Structure 1
Amino acid sequence: MADTPKHSVSVAGIVIRDDGRILAIQRRDNHHWEPPGGVLELDETFEAGVRREVHEETGVDVEVERLTGVYKNLPRGIVALVFRCHPRTAAVADTAEAARIRWLTVDEITAHMDPAYAIRVTDALSDSPATRAHDGTNLVTA
């Protein structure tokens, strides 16, 4: 069992306002645009983790609606559970993790985010959950 590969579980929130704009952050560490999210803590539920991560990174409180996709970063062994959310508060606040926080259109999302992250947003706009793998930047097909 010592040789069994280990995976990290992360959660992310696709936060969609009533006008269709989507919450996005530009990370301080790598300057990439992504939906807010991070590592799920051992003692929290998926939904609690999404609420915590979105708030920590943006200052926005959310209501978690539903799971929209499961994504695996193959090289890093990270499994991300992504949830569609509705903002309970709309004002964003400066945070230690985000260099910039914006409410973007879908076109702006696809222009600013790497494909592996933009697809999480577009998948959240569909009616059924998706499962996908990526190399950290681009989707990997089976």
Structure 2
Amino acid sequence: MADAPKHSVSVAGIVVRDDGRILVIQRRDNSHWEPPGGVLELGETFEQGVRREVAEETGIAVEVERLTGAYKNLPRGIVALVFRCRPTGGEPTSTDESRHVEWLTPDEVHEHMDPAYAVRVLDALSDTPSSRAHDGVQLVAS
């Protein structure tokens, strides 16, 4: 099946503090604001991947609470599984991947992030999981 489509699986953590602020990063490679996350490694569970990615990009340790959405970047074939998390320790720290690490309000998330990423954060604040597709920036109608 050489012609079979190939997909990459990524995970992201929407880390919400008790005061409602959400952990986000400004990426070094493209300066975009996004929730922390990245490619799931072979042999890694979804939850292990979320904990690893959040810690690597922010310095914050988390407990993964629940799946909040599945998102597909149509042009790039990336499927992202997004999980709501709560912080359990650490201090926000810039890394090789993140220029800035900040705790933002939901309104600030909407202001700073492209719609394809802001919706992941805002979906995680609801009780119902979502599935959406996007073109890398804008959502695509289902």
TM tier, shorter chain? Answer: over 0.9
Whole-Å separation in 1 of the counterparts to 2:28 and 2:94:
11
Aligned counterpart, 1:21: 21
In structure 2, runs of 5+ residues without a counterpart are none
Aligned identity (percent) is: 74
Match of 1:96 in 2: 96
Q: How large is the Cα RMSD of the aligned pairs?
A: 0.6
**Which runs of 5 or more structure 1 residues have no equivalent in the other structure?**
none
CA deviations over 1:87-114 (Å, ceiling 9, x no partner)? 0015112211000000000000000000
Q: 1:51-66 counterparts in 2 under 5 A?
A: 51-66=51-66
CA distance in 1, matches of 2:124, 2:138: 18
Matches within 5 A, 1:70-109: 70-109=70-109
Structure 1 runs (4+) greater than 3 angstroms displaced? none
Instruction: Map Cα deviations across residues 27-77 of structure 1 (whole Å, 9 max, x no partner).
Output: 000000000000000110000000000000000000000000000000000
Tell me how many residue pairs correspond in the alignment: 142
Distance apart, 1:140 and its partner CA: 0.1
**In structure 2, how many angstroms separate the alpha carbons of the residues matched to 1:90 and 1:122?**
24
Q: Deviations over 1:8-34 (max 9, x none)?
A: 000000000000000000000000000
